[in-house]
A and B are shown apart, each in its own frame.
Chain A
């Protein structure tokens, strides 16, 4: 197998190992019901993480994801109360997400300010906007929401794919196509791999960077839409910490934080690993949130050390 697939293979392997371990430890674990639940519960984070994958592939970072999720939900809830159809407000919020992301990308490139700081400001801005609109959760009452929550596709076995999971899989497919079958996708990988070379090879830098963050914002907004529909409410604290989960999902999925290497598909598995760990702990019952955090950190650590050695050996191979 080509060595470039190694990190992705490692991720899938870890996922399978965890899943099998769960099946051995608990009854009822080894079923598509569990898988369906994991997908449904974590769909919104994985969707946002898909967008983040592009940002990280280009060597950047986006901390405003979680706040965008909350903001989108809150706005949708208020529009719902004003009589809007959820799909209309969803479309508007997705457009907003793209625009906000584009603005962040523009500032990052034009003012030459680090993405960390600008998207951090974005995090505060959107979260603050959430609070300014609503302090408490606001329900979404439009009948479409209930219909959406009920819609599902049956899976072989007991399980089923909830609508949120279906949206996530479609978004994932779109992301994979964009990453590997468009000029834009190739440019993203080039910028992340070697920025100076990419410029010399003719990649339009500013345009591409703006597009990258716009895409990230679009996916974050989509994640917010899915979350709002899934929970039938707009909650100002929604998505808090989601940016970290998204980044973790991307890194666990085999994408390097330095950029240029990674697969969008890996993010799916990275997110599912995070969900699987949470489920395993839930099944146990006696363990608690503490173990989720500790094991999350441990996994991250192991993966990064593995990544370092992989990258190091790649570099040593071609060193002068």
Chain B
């Protein structure tokens, strides 16, 4: 287990040969094995299933199961034997599906199981599963666990990477906790109770955070500017309620995968809810969309800057001005001087490390890209600011700046919704903290009562 950046993916990639490690060794049955390519891993008996089902949805199940390893006869594929081999693999997992249908016609849960079936070579000893339940619902997860228990009984060793605490305690025998690339804890289920687990994961690192709870003024009252009532989306988020008042900061806390981003996106309209209602400034938003939200003064800074945030080829100046420009429309372009001024102002305010506002954003470091996206939101003069992991990849020094910035904004009357994995920062700025677990809202803590322990307890369900 571990949070983002803890090193889980890297470790898995080294173990399964997708990436070459440069220290240490892998022992199988006490003997060292060399795993420097996916083929070598397979040969050593290590099977891997990555988080995104990395199979080909347009091909049949049989073809997916046998790709690259098709039995041959006279140089041509012997499909009869291939189909038999496929049926055998499916039978191992008690998967009763038609192997000739395209993989994509099955649910993600089934696709996941097919991926596992493929990873289980006849002589596989170890199975590595990277976030296998990320896209599964409760029933499908239980089915998977039944299969895993069965495989366990047959002597297979299983590495189960996850951030869903409940599931880990259901299925695992031992837990290894990673944080910042270091193993910080290992032991049996009995030895590491949930509370300790969460503490290990989130760590006790010291941050320069003031004792903010005392500084925070009382939570603002008054009419909320953004209300979400019963908003949810199947398989994405259970219906939740949310209120944001001007001058208020609401934090979204929870482990990775608990639904922070999804909640933020649903509130912004980037994800279409299939239940519930959203109101902005008292008006019901019938068809939530980013454009509508932006026009009503709600902005959003996404977590995934690479594919949803930056325009890599465009300059810093253009990136910063885009949302404001979109709001003004194409016929009222910002003058170059105005764009430069805004860019300059934001570069200074957020300490964006670039000598030149004309530099393509793709050339900036990740943290600076994040700042550019933040700048874009601020420039359009919003009433509500929704931030998803605003301090991801930003150096420690800048953390405090962002915190100060957020406080300053809420003093100006903005409402903020901040989703973050950094508990300390949430505590420092939030008037209220909404706690999420496993795609559900499980609690709400008032700022005055918010402490690490309280939040961790709520997450862990203790």
Contact = CB atoms under 8 A, between A and B. Distances in A.
Establish whether A and B are touching in the complex (CB under 8 Å): yes
Contact of A193 (B58, B70, B77): B58
B76 A260 contact: no
Size band of the A side of the interface?
A: 20 to 34
Interface string B45-68: 000001000111111100100111
Interface stretch (B103-111, B212-220, B392-400): B103-111
Contacts of B236: 320
Given A318-B105, A318-B108, A183 B77 contact: yes
B158 to A, nearest CB: 20
B77 A182 contact: yes
B67 A196 contact: no
Majority secondary structure of chain A interface residues (helix, strand, loop or mixed): helix
A197 interface: yes
Contacts of A193: 56-59
A230 interface: no
B460 to A, nearest CB: 27
Contacts of B58: 189, 192-194, 260-261
B105 A317 contact: yes
Interface stretch (A138-146, A199-207, A298-306): A199-207
A318 B56 contact: no
Contact of B56 (A4, A177, A197): A197
B100 interface: yes
Interface string B157-192: 000000000000000000000000000000000000
Contacts of B102: 4, 314
A186 interface: yes
Interface in A226-273: 260-261
A43 B70 CA distance: 33
A54 to B, nearest CB: 15
Contacts of A286: none
Contacts of B111: 318
A198 interface: yes
Given A181-B76, A181-B77, A183-B77, A201 B55 contact: yes
Interface residues of B, number: 33
A320 to B, nearest CB: 5
A190 B235 CA distance: 28
B63 A315 contact: no
B276 interface: no
A268 to B, nearest CB: 21
Interface string B107-118: 110010000000
A27 interface: no
B70 A186 contact: yes
A65 B179 CA distance: 56
Given A314-B102, A315-B104, A200 B54 contact: yes
Contacts of A318: 57, 104-108, 111
B38 interface: yes
B54 A177 contact: no
B110 to A, nearest CB: 9
Closest 8 CB pairs of A and B: A193-B56, A193-B58, A260-B58, A181-B76, A197-B54, A200-B54, A194-B56, A202-B68
Interface of B: 18, 38-39, 50, 54-60, 63, 66-68, 70, 72, 75-77, 79, 100-102, 104-108, 111, 135, 235-236
